Structure 1
Amino acid sequence: MIVTEILGNIHEASGQELVGGRHVEKVVLPSTELVKRIQRLTTDHGHELGLRRPAKAPDLKDGDVLAVEGDAENGNAVVVQVLPTDVLVIGARSIVEMAFVAHSLGNRHLQAQFFDENSEYGAQVMVVQYDHTVQDFLDHHGVPYSRQERVMPVPFRHAEHTH
């Protein structure tokens, strides 16, 4: 089977309705694989499928429904499950401290994601992929952070840059 489009997402009502009572097979992926448009995937039941998505297609997300077969009671659905990513959750104490950290890490061309107090973090934080040099930087400057395993809403991408 070749998958060319995402049918829905189980974290939304329409995706839950689409999957219904079907047996769910998972395609377990690390965050780095979510950005690939063309790849061979294997479900947790050993079934293989191909992914071939258009050039401008959005990245895969946790809960994306790749395939639905059969009826709601006896059919199968294939759903993406994203593995947690090793991240540093940075909770600077002030806007000045956050600006310093963001500027310093930006000079390294590190991808960052920002969340507010209404997020699952419950605070205004900056999240970056774990890197021992970033951890050393934060320790050296006394910036509060924690190392966590998180399923990120958006995959980190390699930031290409030239001068």
Structure 2
Amino acid sequence: MVLTEVYRNVDDIPNIGSYHIETAMVKSDDLMKNILRVKTDHGNEYGIRLDNEDQILENGSAFKLGDKQLLVLSVIADEMIEITPRDIDEMGLVAHFLGNLHKPVQIKDGKISLLLDKVVVKMLDKEDINYELKKVQLDQPLEYLDLTK
């Protein structure tokens, strides 16, 4: 079966307990794809091909399989680096370094997050920059900054 439209996010479905749910585990990078093949916890395989380019996949995207049946995407947690610069100078240094490496990042609440990379960890240690390694389940994939929008 090929699924072409996201019904809604599982968090936004009322009476979710009345549905039979199959869960497919996906990598955060898979959320950027318009065409995807998944295998569920029930052993069923489904194809996903989003017809509407405005729709995006995210953690919890639900597809209707039947009247009270859903396929829900669950993102596998990624090992992430969360950097907490001490001041604007350190923020500039980190941003310059990560930009030169062309790393997709997420910047939120004064912190920079990116997928684990040993080269970045070595640089952070060398420059004595605060960071933590965390397992994080991303709701949306990390993307490169697009200045054309």
User: Is the Cα contact below 8 Å between 1:19 and 1:68 reproduced in 2?
Assistant: no
Q: Which residue of 1 aligns with 2:8?
A: 8
Q: Which residue of 1 aligns with 2:43?
A: 46
How many residues are paired up? 145
User: Is the Cα contact below 8 Å between 1:37 and 1:55 reproduced in 2?
Assistant: no
Q: Which residue of 2 aligns with 1:145?
A: 131
Q: Which residue of 1 aligns with 2:122?
A: 136
Matches of 1:7 and 1:144 in 2, distance apart?
A: 41
Matches of 2:83 and 2:139 in 1, distance apart?
A: 17
In the TM superposition, what are the counterparts of 1:1-163 in structure 2 within 5 Å? 1-12=1-12, 16-17=13-14, 19-54=16-51, 56-70=53-67, 75-116=68-109, 124-157=110-143
Q: Deviations over 1:12-59 (max 9, x none)?
A: 3xxx22745112110110112111211221111011111111373443
Matches of 2:124 and 2:71 in 1, distance apart?
A: 41
Report the identity percentage.
Answer: 30
Structure 1: stretches of 5+ with no match in the other structure: 117-123
Q: CA deviation at 1:154?
A: 2.1
SS of the equivalent of 1:11 reads helix
User: Is the Cα contact below 8 Å between 2:75 and 2:139 reproduced in 1?
Assistant: no
Matches of 1:157 and 1:103 in 2, distance apart?
A: 17
4+ runs deviating over 6 angstroms = none
User: Is the Cα contact below 8 Å between 1:32 and 1:157 reproduced in 2?
Assistant: no
Residue type of the alignment partner of 2:97: S
TM-score, normalised to structure 1, is 0.81
Matches of 1:78 and 1:55 in 2, distance apart?
A: 18
Residue type of the alignment partner of 1:26: T
Structure 2: stretches of 5+ with no match in the other structure: none
Q: CA deviation at 1:125?
A: 0.7
Residue type of the alignment partner of 2:2: I
